[in-house]
Structure 1
């Protein structure tokens, strides 16, 4: 009887060790759950960013209006007969100081 009790206690101790301190313990499981949540959030942000980029690509492929707007904003291009003015202002929004 004592031998059986000793075996059961040893088995219980071994299982408790694996549960709390060993590989695939509860602490590891909680840590992995947190990593999964963070990765899912990151994935959601990347999916949203990819969708915006797909829409921009589609817009650029479908018409010249978006292409023209991008050329004007990013490259400073102007149409023939237009005059380009760049207004450089201070903190007051371009209002000249006295």
Structure 2
């Protein structure tokens, strides 16, 4: 009789552990989903870091010299110096 109770108790514990493994908060499908979401977020962070680095470089150029200002005025605003002809070739 006591062997049956012990066996049933062990089976219940095993079932509880398996239920946590497959359906609980730290279940295998949940962990796989979180790893996938983490990889997506890391890819987004890398892209955002590239954009931030480009903007930081542009800000540094604007603070240090006027070459970037002249380049922006030419490319974005179409400005030219006096007695200068601006030619833009687009592929």
Change (3 A) 1:84 1:48: closer
- In the comparison of the two structures, how many residue pairs are matched? 89
| Displacement over 6 Å in runs of 4+ | none
2:38 maps to which of 29, 36, 44: 36
Give the whole-Å Cα distance in 1 for the aligned partners of 2:50 and 2:39.
17
Q: Report the structure, 1 or 2, having the larger helix content.
A: 2
TM-score, structure 1 as length reference: 0.80
Give the whole-Å Cα distance in 2 for the aligned partners of 1:85 and 1:51.
31
Deviations along 1:28-55, one digit per CA (max 9) or x if unpaired, are 0111111111111111111111111111
1:68 maps to which of 62, 67, 70: 70
Structure 1 position 12 matched with structure 2 position 14: yes
TM-score, structure 2 as length reference: 0.86
Higher relative contact order (CA 8 A, sep 6+): 2
- Structure 1: gaps spanning 5 or more residues: 94-98
SS of alignment partner, residue 8 of structure 1: helix
